[in-house]
Amino acid sequence: MLKELTTDLYAECDRSWNRFMQMREENREPDFFQEVKPYADHIQQQLIQWKELSSEFIQKNKPKHVHMIQVNNASDAIEQFVVQSFYIKTSKKRFYQSIQSVKYTCETYLRALEDVAND
């Protein structure tokens, strides 16, 4: 379950980038209550579950390169950039950097999950 959630959150980085570029191309503002809030609420539920499972995994397995602070920081960044991806006034450079940071954390996490599975 943790691997699937981490993989889906990694994919959310690309979905958010694509949504951001599409919104810029369409040059429109989204309806907050029809588009943004339902999507953000769905992601938030995934993040809550991810953090709970991550806490258990990290305490039990003590992976070398994954710590709870990284999970919390990635979670906060995802929450922010998912919402920002709907708005064309978002800074492209900062948005991209946030996505890259989360992708790196997810990649590191997935490697740690593989390492534990192989032991």
Query: Are the CB atoms for 29 and 87 separated by under 8 Å?
Result: yes
Are the C-beta atoms of residues 99 and 13 closer than 8 Å to each other? yes
Per residue in 14-52, pLDDT tens?
999 999 999 999 999 999 999 999 999 999 999 999 999
Global pTM reads: 0.92
pLDDT (0 to 100) of residue 119 = 74
List, in order of start, the domains of the chain with CATH numbers: 2-118 (1.20.120.440)
Amino acid found at 92 = K
3-state SS, one letter per residue, for 48-109: HHHHHHHHHHHHHHCCCCCCHHHHHHHHHHHHHHHHHCCCCCCCHHHHHHHHHHHHHHHHHH
Q: Tell whether the model's pLDDT for residue 62 goes beyond 80.
A: yes
pLDDT number for residue 35: 95
For 66-119, the pLDDT digits (tens) are 999 999 999 999 999 999 999 999 999 999 999 999 999 999 999 999 998 887
| Structure token digits, residue 54 | 């991550």
